[in-house]
């Protein structure tokens, strides 16, 4: 951790974390594909990361990561994503100056690291927020070094270039905001105005989506295209239903009615078991998890709609159909 100048010999840096040139090029190819860019962009992204990014020769972009009312699953998802060593490499491309879970320092020195990074990178750093913001009882349900999370968020977002609300809790309130919401948990954007808050929802979110958003910013010097809810379009442009391998069975009304029936074994549509894929936008079926091998529906479980605003209060019970909604 800590600020470093951008070294031309990125390859050596990557090697030091066990990433070969081949892995690196594969990663750049994957990032280009995720961002919807033609394959030729893979080598351009590699060049940009190695030499041409807007920050070359300068200090690396500073990222401050604030954990509020969270389970730390979003951090786990990012650091243990499809390419764990690549995640480490991306963390080498940026300067992760503050992250409560990963920071080696603690107590006053951790707070000082945060304060100095904010001052040194005023108006330029990326603030990633994980978790919801509890506001009841003056925010006492989430405090950091004696100050409320709300206070931290307001202060840190004020000096940031932009904010990424990572995960469903930060994006929409998520589990902490589910009824009866005893801590009055809210989404991050309620406290960050008028700054751009990029939402990357999911419980947890897909680590590669955060990586691709950061790579896009490094490469183009700006954020990727966002939808009306400020989610990156490259990942949230389509419903899971539209990209599901079982869609053919949905069209033919070939449905699974029980977890142990022949239709289940045949890989038919899980809609009657409460699948929310028709109401959920995310790239799970395309990007997948566990080294690109698996995702919920692919593994035989209905989509629970974890990346949607209505998750928990309107998308539960998990194994029931969503009231008043029918897939198109």
Contact set with ligand SF4 (CB under 6 A): 70-71, 73-74, 130-131, 167-169, 174-175, 203-204, 240-241, 244, 246-247, 250, 269-271, 275, 277-278, 297, 303
* Least distance to ligand SF4, CB of residue 131, Å: 5
* Least distance to ligand SF4, CB of residue 275, Å: 3
User: How, if at all, do strands 185-186 and 133-134 pair?
Assistant: antiparallel
Q: For ligand SF4, which is the closer residue by CB, 50 or 308?
A: 308
Q: For ligand SF4, which is the closer residue by CB, 163 or 218?
A: 163
User: 247: how many CB neighbours lie within 10 A of its CB?
Assistant: 17
Token readout for 28 is: 């750049």
Q: For ligand SF4, which is the closer residue by CB, 70 or 157?
A: 70
Per DSSP, helices labelled H in the chain are 10-16, 21-34, 41-47, 73-79, 84-93, 107-120, 136-139, 149-158, 167-172, 207-220, 233-236, 247-251, 262-265, 284-287
Q: Phi and psi at residue 100, in whole multiples of 5°? A: -55, -35
* Least distance to ligand SF4, CB of residue 61, Å: 23
* Least distance to ligand SF4, CB of residue 82, Å: 17
* Least distance to ligand SF4, CB of residue 169, Å: 3
Token readout for 288 is: 């997948």
Q: For ligand SF4, which is the closer residue by CB, 219 or 271?
A: 271
Q: For ligand SF4, which is the closer residue by CB, 60 or 241?
A: 241
Q: 311 to each of 132, 188, 203, 306, 316, how far by Cα in Å? A: 14, 16, 10, 6, 7
């Amino acid at each position: 951790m800590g600020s470093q100048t951008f070294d031309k010999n990125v390859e050596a840096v990557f090697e030091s974390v066990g990433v070969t040139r081949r892995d690196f090029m594969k990663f750049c190819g994957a990032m280009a594909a995720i961002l919807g860019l033609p394959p030729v962009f893979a080598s351009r992204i590699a060049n940009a990361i190695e030499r041409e990014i807007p920050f070359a020769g300068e200090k690396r972009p500073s990222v401050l990561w604030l954990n509020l009312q969270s389970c730390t699953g979003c951090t786990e998802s990012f650091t243990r994503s499809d390419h764990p060593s690549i995640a480490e490499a991306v963390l080498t491309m940026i300067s992760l100056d503050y992250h409560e879970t990963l920071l080696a320092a603690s107590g006053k020195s951790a707070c000082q690291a945060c304060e100095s990074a904010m001052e040194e990178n005023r108006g330029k750093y990326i603030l990633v927020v994980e978790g919801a913001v509890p506001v009841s009882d003056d925010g006492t349900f989430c405090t950091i070094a004696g100050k409320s999370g709300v206070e931290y968020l307001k202060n840190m977002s004020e000096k940031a270039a932009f904010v990424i609300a990572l995960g469903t809790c930060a994006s929409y309130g998520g589990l902490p905001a589910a009824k009866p919401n005893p801590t009055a948990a809210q989404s991050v954007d309620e406290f960050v105005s008028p700054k751009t808050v990029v939402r990357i929802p999911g419980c947890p979110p897909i680590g590669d989506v955060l990586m691709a958003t950061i790579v896009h910013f490094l490469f183009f010097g700006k954020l990727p295209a966002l939808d009306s809810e400020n989610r990156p379009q490259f990942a949230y442009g389509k419903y899971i239903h539209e990209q599901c391998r079982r869609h053919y069975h949905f069209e033919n009304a070939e449905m699974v009615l029980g977890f142990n029936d022949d239709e289940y074994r045949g890989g038919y549509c899980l809609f009657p078991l409460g699948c929310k894929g028709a109401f959920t936008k995310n790239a799970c079926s395309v990007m997948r998890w566990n080294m690109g091998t698996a995702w919920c529906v692919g593994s035989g479980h209905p989509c629970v709609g974890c990346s949607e605003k209505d998750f928990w209060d309107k998308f539960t019970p998990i194994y029931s159909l969503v009231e008043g909604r029918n897939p198109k």
